[in-house]
Structure 1
């Protein structure tokens, strides 16, 4: 196995970036690009100070500190050949539970020009129906009243910015790296609403001194189990307490709106643009939507790993037909992107045995995923009179997954739906399958008023219950 070590002097790096949420994806994606850019001598001021805010981060913090913050990243090739990178761009690590003052002081440091975030899609505390920031949340209320003793990311960032303003440390960019459409706009809505409610003078300062560019991120990065740690270390020969592994594909597209400067990430493959919308649309409509499309049917057919599901030619044809017939007419290719090559690469990525993602991870939180990945294009498809076969089958599969919780092999399973509310549960429990079409996740498309969709969906719902998912999928593959 090829091991690639960094060649810069880690002792000379200073932190120009504060990153909140030092999870696996961040360490496989943003750290990967930053580690590469630090090889350029004029970029040594762009090291990353990681910030962890949760009690559950303790193990990660102690593991990384025990090895001077270095760690190994195994990039798993679709050709079966892996490469191991030694990552040294994490030059500081603060655990907010242990030292909350250090978090705010670091954000206020004039050498820090960028605050990046991976706090998960649900971490922005926005109401799923209105999109408004939830000010009456108990922890938010605590932070609004206790500026010097924050507990949430919003409280910590606000306190850091307040100290930054007092010290005249200059402007800063807040860059979301979470998998959200227009994630910069989302971050801006969340942080500015909180700050406006807490400190109107600071809110005015933020208005002129903080930018929130949108970005699009992409790299499949599975969770790391204790067995994975042993396996990765055995293959790499490195005794790493906190290794990470990921696929060999990576993409990062960012709107170039950095008020205080930025690394020259473009030297290492990052793409800068004036508007990230077309890139987001392509990824969400093809990668994320296809993940959702294959997840529930695959799980109901008994598959538990994505690469295993992609060995089933029926599933491959199902996904590729969705990409070609349903989505390609609706998705213009951004920039110089070759859409046919992009789709081909997606199929290869899903089938990568070395990454072997969990199907259950793709199934998790469908209530949040359908409104973002499926419903916007489905609404257009219905209005345009397009073929609704695959989306109706997906919807019927999702109902069966939620309602019966048993796969084609008779195996019972637990579902992962943290945002499922009582009204949604009543719709799932209803024996009339059409009631399910009023699920909160489907509000962006009037599914019940499409006679063709209802006809296909009810047919599939009945067939899946009587015959199983696999036979029904086989019947719609052409």
Structure 2
């Protein structure tokens, strides 16, 4: 295994970026790209200050601080050859629970030109049916009224921008790195709605001084278990308290709209464009939607690792049929992109034994994923009279996964649905399968109005319960 150390003096790196949400994906993606450009002396004002806002972040904060914010990233090759990178681009780390004032001051700092975000698909606090920012949320209401410490990312950023304005510290870019359609537009709606409700004068300043470019991000990055920590350190020979691992594929496409300047990330492979729509549509509709399609049926069939599921040719055929028949007609390929090659590469990436991603990670937070990855294209498919077999089977599998919490082998499991509401739970518990079609994850379209979809869905619900997920999948492929 090859280990690659950084070749820049971390003491000379200045902070130009604040990132909120220092999770595994951020450390495998944005930190990696930034780490690569810091080798150039003219880029060394673009170090990153990480900001963690949740009580649950305490462990990662302590572990990273214990090793001077450095960590190892293992890039797992599809050919079985892995590389380990020592990452030094994270130069500061602030835990908002411990020092909220330091968070606000850093956001207001004149040397900071970009705020980046990985706060998850559900973190933007938008109604899944209307797309509106949920102003009556309890925590949002607290932050709108308090003169003290904020409790949400919206409260912290707003206070940081308010001080920035007061100090005449200049404009700034807010760059979402979450898997959302038009993630910059989403971030703009969420933050500007909050700011307008909190401080109308500040809202006017934001219109002229803050930009929200859209971006498309892509790199499969599994969760890291304690067993993974031991495994990764044994391979690397390091004693890293916070290692990360990921696949060898990475892509980042960003609309070039940075009001206060930006790093030369293109030197590390980032593609800048005027419009990211075609790229994000391709990625969300093919990679993310296929991950969701794979997740619940595979988990119910007993698979716990993605590469193991991909050894089942029925699963592979199911995914390829979805890509080729359901999605390809709806996805125009971006310029200079071969869609067939892209789909072939996706199958290779899912099958990467060295990554061996967790199926449970793909199942996590379906309530936020379905509205982004599945529902937009499903709405088009229904209107166009297309084949709804695979999507109806997926949603029937999702209901079974949430309702029964037992797989085909009789193994029980816990679900991870942080945005599941009490109303959602009532609809899941309802013995009438059609009630499930009103859960918040599916409200982007009224599935109950499509007789063709309802018939397929109800049939699959009953078949999965009576026969098991695997046999029903096989019947779809015949």
Whole-angstrom CA distance in 1 between matches of 2:425 and 2:22: 34
Q: Secondary structure at the match of 1:91?
A: strand
Q: Does 1:308 align with 2:302?
A: no
Q: Secondary structure at the match of 1:64?
A: helix
Q: Does 1:380 align with 2:386?
A: no
Correspondence for 1:367: 367
1:78–1:291: structure 2 CA closer, same or farther, 3 Å change rule?
same
Matches within 5 A, 1:39-118: 39-118=39-118
Correspondence for 1:428: 428
Aligned-residue offset at 1:462: 2.4
Aligned-residue offset at 1:148: 4.7
Aligned-residue offset at 1:415: 2.6
1:8–1:287: structure 2 CA closer, same or farther, 3 Å change rule?
same
Q: What whole-Å deviation, never above 9, does each CA across 1:149-196 have from its counterpart, x for those lacking one?
A: 223222221221122112211111011111111111111112112222
User: Comparing 396-405 with 373-382, which one deviates more in the overlay?
Assistant: 396-405
Correspondence for 2:196: 196
1:180–1:143: structure 2 CA closer, same or farther, 3 Å change rule?
same
**Contact (CA 8 Å) 1:147, 1:155: kept in 2 or not?**
no
Q: Any stretches of 5+ residues in structure 2 without a counterpart?
A: none
Q: What whole-Å deviation, never above 9, does each CA across 1:377-417 have from its counterpart, x for those lacking one?
A: 11211222222221122122222222333221122333333
TM-score by length of 2: 0.96
Whole-angstrom CA distance in 2 between matches of 1:426 and 1:100: 38
Whole-angstrom CA distance in 1 between matches of 2:87 and 2:282: 30
Whole-angstrom CA distance in 2 between matches of 1:474 and 1:452: 21
Correspondence for 1:464: 464
Q: Secondary structure at the match of 1:279?
A: helix
Matches within 5 A, 1:118-267: 118-267=118-267
Whole-angstrom CA distance in 1 between matches of 2:357 and 2:288: 14
Matches within 5 A, 1:316-355: 316-355=316-355
User: Comparing 335-344 with 56-65, which one deviates more in the overlay?
Assistant: 56-65
1:367–1:98: structure 2 CA closer, same or farther, 3 Å change rule?
closer
**Contact (CA 8 Å) 1:147, 1:159: kept in 2 or not?**
no
Whole-angstrom CA distance in 1 between matches of 2:221 and 2:149: 34
Whole-angstrom CA distance in 1 between matches of 2:413 and 2:172: 46
Aligned-residue offset at 1:454: 2.9
Whole-angstrom CA distance in 2 between matches of 1:153 and 1:422: 24
Correspondence for 1:413: 413
Whole-angstrom CA distance in 2 between matches of 1:152 and 1:462: 42
Correspondence for 1:6: 6
Q: Secondary structure at the match of 1:51?
A: strand
Q: Secondary structure at the match of 2:22?
A: coil
**Contact (CA 8 Å) 1:148, 1:159: kept in 2 or not?**
no
Correspondence for 1:292: 292
User: Comparing 453-462 with 116-125, which one deviates more in the overlay?
Assistant: 453-462
Aligned-residue offset at 1:333: 0.5
Whole-angstrom CA distance in 2 between matches of 1:184 and 1:295: 27
1:414–1:312: structure 2 CA closer, same or farther, 3 Å change rule?
same
Superposition CA RMSD, Å: 1.7
**Contact (CA 8 Å) 2:128, 2:443: kept in 1 or not?**
no
Q: Secondary structure at the match of 2:45?
A: helix
Q: Secondary structure at the match of 1:238?
A: coil
Correspondence for 1:399: 399
Q: What whole-Å deviation, never above 9, does each CA across 1:275-329 have from its counterpart, x for those lacking one?
A: 1111111111111111111111111111111111111010000001100111001
Whole-angstrom CA distance in 1 between matches of 2:169 and 2:107: 10
Q: Any stretches of 5+ residues in structure 1 without a counterpart?
A: none
Aligned-residue offset at 1:366: 2.1
**Contact (CA 8 Å) 2:129, 2:444: kept in 1 or not?**
no
Q: What whole-Å deviation, never above 9, does each CA across 1:217-260 have from its counterpart, x for those lacking one?
A: 11111111221111111100111111111111111111110000
**Contact (CA 8 Å) 1:173, 1:212: kept in 2 or not?**
yes
Count of paired positions = 478
User: Comparing 416-425 with 21-30, which one deviates more in the overlay?
Assistant: 416-425
Aligned-residue offset at 1:422: 4.0
Q: Secondary structure at the match of 2:44?
A: helix
Whole-angstrom CA distance in 1 between matches of 2:203 and 2:346: 42
Aligned-residue offset at 1:142: 2.8
Aligned-residue offset at 1:351: 1.2
Whole-angstrom CA distance in 1 between matches of 2:60 and 2:245: 15
1:311–1:58: structure 2 CA closer, same or farther, 3 Å change rule?
same
User: Comparing 407-416 with 163-172, which one deviates more in the overlay?
Assistant: 407-416
Q: What whole-Å deviation, never above 9, does each CA across 1:426-476 have from its counterpart, x for those lacking one?
A: 433343333333433333334333333233323322222222111111122
Whole-angstrom CA distance in 1 between matches of 2:443 and 2:123: 22
Whole-angstrom CA distance in 1 between matches of 2:449 and 2:109: 56
Aligned-residue offset at 1:73: 0.5
User: Comparing 431-440 with 7-16, which one deviates more in the overlay?
Assistant: 431-440
